[in-house]
Structure 1
């Protein structure tokens, strides 16, 4: 499309299209994330920022471009996620300032907006670093100043800036040794390149949902990224917590920045008019939160353990290599082994650590077929295989697959992940099939399963009503009547289930549980159980869908 002047409809549709195009690149951007910390979430944070902005701002045809850009700027401040997302929010603030009171019929507004965007983003960062999103933003701002002298349309200008962005991203390793060592370009810079390309593609009339894409990938299959994490793990240094929150305060932005500058690294302070979004990497997030409360009120608190995030990158790399090996050669064991059906990256990792020969993806609403299970079983060379279905709806399917398999397969009819994990912990690959079957059957009978979930619809189960959006609990298929937050219901359910009589309680955190919620849960359980919490309760990231918490209560 040829655009001679900018209007709010074009502005909004272009933003939505670029966000849609960005979504197709989330994983690729995450895979490049090593600076400032290899926590693999840059693409996710930038997309959540963009998507959150889109959800907050509904287009109205009476909006002017300037008013719409102000709404998006305000939304970006509230929705900014992570270091890159908050910098992105400042870019949108700069775009608003660059459009304010400007003539929308001239492409000069692109140059003024990018210049303001760079100044706004640069000012928000305590220690700006070359070779990052800032470098690319400055390069395209300078390029736009040159291009407006010769380009006549918005589409032509965005095409030139898209090319410049790619060149600038290519050069980021020249500025930052960490990127060179890891064999990647800067992930935030790549994210900006993708968003800008999405704008160009839309203005060129192309379908951003279906146009061919070519992804940047780490050199040598990510070996440099993995080595970076391994080198870190060999030291005593820790990444700490990615700490973010919104602060409402009458204190000026420079004084706000001064409060936090010595409390951690990667400090970004965004916002104005008494509302600020704070981002900082720190080993002691409580210090930053406490300081903030001395000058105002906080909300939207988010804590993410970057050690766990970097470890997850290594786990994913190991899983990919393992699955590739299984697909190509089939797993081999000398005597006995087990296969588990599971979902959730953390849960799968526990099964792997307990010695699983293979893991079949499946669970609630995603049951594997008989053929899929049988194919995995037949790919394994082993005298005897134990199959843990870990879901009552998969038990019969597992038995059919076992009957069809060419291998000797014993199905232990585990009806939950809790039962399956406890059985896998007791499995002995050097023991006889008969003894393993007896042991696992006994273990299974000693496990109770507690599920804490958010109701997706209003339902009546037994004597308990579950309202849509509320949290609920089920203990061994029996609904419990407790109400409150997920953590409060878990606490009440543990008391009801006689937790003190258990030998071991394992709590698996779901994929939607934040680090802040985890810390709250730990405090709640410590207050409730005291020494028993340290002796018998462990909390592990299961990353499972559907359930906030899956709890295994093991008794002898």
Structure 2
């Protein structure tokens, strides 16, 4: 085949999407930071899956119409920086394919050139050694080798092979990758997309595997309330005896206890989801088969009412405000702080669960204000927010570049919905400059970063996004972080405890600080995941 039409393009991309989805946990594991929050693979997989969803409903073979639909879907479904960049790559293809029924080999290369240009322009400060380098070098290779007689399969074989070469070289371009000894995760994800597309052209279309379950999706915060009451309970157990285990027997037992039941076995792990009135009954039934690795149980009635209240409060407010706030947060305790401090809409999401561009668009549209400020509170959400802003035409939207939840809290403390947007912008931007952020979490692997030797299971002492030391327990780590951040001018230290931390542990840290420094210390339950402590020093 020397001609590419919309039908073939869509089928190739579905194969590429399946290939990435099948290996997304592998991509997640390439996360450079040794924190158990790797989500590049999940973000890219969600983005490309959104692009090809129901694509054949268009009932056309025109490549311009198909590519435009895929591009639009990807933009709305894009999650995280990696997802946004992928969406922009395929937007570049769509822009070149405009007004074309089908394309030849030279035009396909032009499509790669357009994709490269769009990807680079979507990032304010492009960094080499990332997915950007991979798409650029793939394009350069194609420009040098493709002839009018080149088949589509040959083009994608060359693209795939060059992508792998480029991925292997990313660690030589980006020092942090070389230090940790991994390739760029975004680049590897793009390679998997190209590999899946190539395989379709040679009759080896990649199907979605039933065996792989994305753990971050399985135990997630995206449960949809559909009229059921009780608790949405999800957990993973590691089996004591894999050979003796009978999945059918377990299903028979728990089906009597839970509704909306899903039970999936992945070698020695079993993942279970169910809606129950008493979570303990479901947990007890499963625990005899193994030990828990991860548990989540949330009150569906409260979740539903909470989500409805947030939306209704904003939508039913007839008075148009001068300024409104959309904030991206995770952890019910922190969400409560943001709401009490004036947030008009909370987009739930953060580490490992980045909201999509469409989530942010809907949030902006739900706030009845002349100007809407967005607090991303995570560096991996800023690019999605920027894409969302471009779609809004009926109100002014301003992104305050908060990179941590602590910065977001500091910003909203300086917000007034009746003030002019210029005043709010200046005050919030000044606020995030005046607060330092500390974090404590457990290391997910052995590595070395910033000349700090890290062992899996150590507690990481993170100050302003930089690992400064490790400790053997979380309280020692918190003390190290605070001592690093505190200055003679410091007036207040705020400690948000989450994960499995209790108030007693946090109070111990607070007492330690108060006994050594003349500062005010506040302790609050953040209920955030991954991070045992989030600390603000002002």
Larger radius of gyration: 1
Normalized against structure 1, the TM-score is what?
0.45
Normalized against structure 2, the TM-score is what?
0.46
